[in-house]
Amino acid sequence: MNKTIAMFKDYLKLERNYSSNTVKAYVTDLEVYYDYLFEIKTTDDKVTRDEIRGFLKDQVEKSISKRTIRRRVSTLRHYYWFLQYKELVNYDPTIYIQSPKAINPLPRVLYEEQIRTLLKYNSERTDFLRDRDQAILSLLFSSGIRASELINLTMQDINFSQQTINIIGKGNKQRIVMCSKESLNTIKKYNDGLRKELLKRRHDPRPTNIVFLNARGNKLTLQGLDKILFSIERKTGEYLDLHPHLFRHSFATSLVERGADIRVIQELLGHESLDTTNIYTHISEEKVVRDYFKYHPRRKKDEDD
């Protein structure tokens, strides 16, 4: 790894306390950038705005998405600020560089009927890992936690009597989320039965309090969680393009539709900015309009006329 990238990586981890996934994204962006600098035979201390524009043009020509390019512009801004801070460069070539305009489609959500159907079909499975998968599905929808938060969850984090879960989120920030009794019951059933069987499969002699384990009794990975959701689709026949954030979006939208205060939702989701949470009000508004045209008696009368 490039020496300055390594320094920047340490800065993000140790001083900014960024999550490992965020740091990995920064490093990936910079590695792509340095590959480009190598191709055009220059170094970061000689880069001007022309080279930055050339890099962005190269990304567009390679059909890289606008979202990824925007992130890479942000990465380069942070990176050159850091290089100036460390007095490794005298000039920030990202000044006045504009990012591609963002296109922010509203996130897709599952409606409660789809969730109920998915949980019903999954509960009817007869294979070994059914109870773990049922607990995962139920928890994702009833709590809105992130994938990284789910795989790091320990049994000590769960307060069954208070129906709360202690979450360590992005930047090691702690928050308390509520969880439905039904969801906690699925976790309890899994913990009392299948989880004990999975622990027996562990080759690592060290004890673990991690809630969700893979078939070998080890902690789930993010990739492993994605595979589980894909497997659930295959086993239930409900092909909904499942991913962890889909449940998070669905959780938040459900709360908005029931009139929950947006700041409460912000706290439950662990968002730093209220702007991030506000997108769910737009999803709800879109549903109101759609349902109006579908169900409103006046609209039906207009169509009949």
Given 125, 170, 189, 235, the catalytic residue:
170
Which residues pair with residue 210 across a beta bridge?
Answer: 154
Q: Considering the candidates 57, 67, 108, 245, report the single residue annotated as catalytic.
A: 245
The question of whether 271 is a catalytic residue gets the answer yes
Residue 304's alpha-carbon distances to 113, 138, 218, 294, in angstroms, are: 29, 42, 61, 13
For the question of residue 170 being annotated catalytic, the response is yes
| Residue 124 DSSP class | T
The one catalytic residue among 9, 72, 132, 146: 146
Phi, psi (rounded to 5 degrees) for 15:
-100, -40
Catalytic residue among 72, 78, 249, 271: 271
Angstrom distance (rounded) from CA 302 to CA 231: 46
Which residues in 246-256 are b (16+ Cβ under 10 Å) and which e?
bbbbbbbbbbb
Q: Within 86-129, where are the H helices?
A: 112-123
72 belongs to the catalytic site: no
Gyration radius of the chain over CA positions = 23
Beta-carbon count within 10 A of 269 CB: 22
Please indicate whether residue 282 is annotated as part of the active site: no
280 part of the active site: yes
Kindly name the residue from 9, 78, 132, 248 that is annotated as catalytic. Answer: 248
Are β-strands 174-178 and 158-159 bridged in parallel, bridged antiparallel, or unpaired? unpaired
Q: Is 67 a catalytic residue?
A: no
Q: So which residues are the catalytic ones?
A: 146, 170, 245, 248, 271, 280
